[in-house]
Amino acid sequence: MRHSQKLEEELRTLGMKIKQHENNLNHLNTEKSKLDDSILHLQVTVGKSESSSKATIGDMENPLPTNDEEVNKQILHNEKSAAGILCQLKIRHGAKASDLTLTKDVVGIVATLGKVENDNLSRLFSEYLGVETMLAIVCRTYEGVKALESYDKEGCINKNYGLHGLGASIGRALDGRFLVIFLCLCLSLVVVDKPYAGNYVVNDAQRKLDILNPRLPNGDCPAGFLGFAVNMIHVDNSNLFCVTPSGYGLRETLFYNLFSRLQVYKTRAEMIQALPCISEGALSLDGGMVRSCGVYSLGNREDVDVRFARPERSTGLDSHHIEIERELKDVKWKKEKILEELKREQLLLDMTRFNFNKKKTDYLKYLAQSSSDATQVINLSGKWILNLGDLVICCFDPMQVSLSYFYQHFRNLFYYLKSDWVNLSRSISGREK
């Protein structure tokens, strides 16, 4: 295959790739428009449902007050903590705080992401996790972790950026270490997360994990066993689905990571009797605590000053409302994936166009170089050969074939060169004259 033919074939291939990427972009943009319409429709439906439910709850004689505000106050008491700085930012800027580069990947603070029905259980869980974990910042990916703190060339913390810079700007200098939990690791286009890998309880609105109950050696379930801590956390509907790029919620990621298969018993005595089937820790309502096999927490209970809130009463929110919220969350997640695909396709299109233009330039340079070497028309047995250097363009009878036919016949050679064909044809016409 001649060099010119090779270049021509490469141009054709790149042209086809450009067309395919353009088609992909058009398809993705169409899908995005459909998802935007669905999101708008579902948001209107959810808004109407919430308005109705609030009216119902307001008519109740003894509505249960929520204490989210109290949890925020508890966090703010730790004024020099990273959680305290983020909480202050949210109070000052509201929903706009989530749009900042620093916080756009932040899901929240552990203490605000779960709720517990029983105050005693809330104290137990807070003590088990410890105040440092209760104040931990939760990010969707490791990219969010990197945004919270940056370093100079010597590896020292740059106090002008990240949370350190934010704290200094609002008069709350960040002091000491702080925990950050990321739910999944994104490596290029690959997402790696390690959530709970089992099934979920069937028809459970809270998507509790279907973990097998513990069994004693005789096959019986231990006396006093109440359940697993991970399933005793109430998760807001907005965080049950599609929190991570892979579509997982907080129960199977964050809270399974924190509690694993921690068991809860009524009394310390019943917990001790169940030791043969406790492998990942246990708590009892009267303060007993086994952290792992062979590791006990003894002494007086510690009252951690940051605890989980109690969930709002959801009498006014029926299963239909919950299903709509789940669907809305799912559609928003699909839109995020579409936006990622759009960025990827646009990048591939730009790269292919760059390669096409580079190859086109090489092709034109080759033709120009061949033309400058020699341009000759030779009469052989009544037929003419138009020769550009070592590249034979055609062999034709000048009495039967017009030059315009020659151009038309070989126009496909320059299909992807567009206006460059006009310049080349003018050049050949000049030589013919």
Shared domain for 344 and 305, answered yes or no, is: no
Shared domain for 419 and 360, answered yes or no, is: no
| pLDDT given for residue 402 in this prediction | 44
d(CA 212, CA 259): 15
Q: Enter the pTM of the model.
A: 0.60
Residue that terminates a domain, selected from 274, 290, 312: 312
Residue that terminates a domain, selected from 328, 350, 371: 371
Yes or no: say if 282 and 263 are a contact pair by the CB < 8 Å rule. Answer: yes
**CA 32, 37, 39: angle at the middle one, nearest 5?**
90
Helix pair 82-93, 162-169: axis angle to 10 deg: 60
Shared domain for 412 and 293, answered yes or no, is: no
Yes or no: say if 429 and 406 are a contact pair by the CB < 8 Å rule. Answer: no
Shared domain for 160 and 301, answered yes or no, is: yes
Shared domain for 155 and 289, answered yes or no, is: yes
Shared domain for 22 and 49, answered yes or no, is: yes
Shared domain for 15 and 103, answered yes or no, is: no
Q: For 168-217, write each residue's pLDDT tens digit.
A: 887 777 878 899 998 875 544 444 457 888 888 887 888 899 999 998 88
Shared domain for 40 and 83, answered yes or no, is: no
d(CA 105, CA 114): 18
Shared domain for 160 and 273, answered yes or no, is: yes
Shared domain for 381 and 360, answered yes or no, is: no
Q: What is the largest CA-CA distance in the chain?
A: 113
- pLDDT lower than 50: segments of the chain: 51-66, 187-192, 315-316, 374-429, 431-433
Shared domain for 302 and 194, answered yes or no, is: yes
Shared domain for 306 and 330, answered yes or no, is: no
Residue that terminates a domain, selected from 312, 327, 355: 312
Domain of 345? Answer: 1-63+318-371
In three-state form (DSSP H/G/I as H, E/B as E, the rest C), the secondary structure along 33-55 is HHHHHHHHHHHHHHHHHHHHHHH
Q: For 256-300, write each residue's pLDDT tens digit.
A: 999 999 999 999 999 999 998 998 999 999 999 998 777 888 888
Domain count, the chain: 3
Query: Which of 1, 3, 2, 4 has the alpha carbon at shortest distance from 414?
Result: 4
d(CA 227, CA 1): 74
Yes or no: say if 291 and 262 are a contact pair by the CB < 8 Å rule. Answer: no
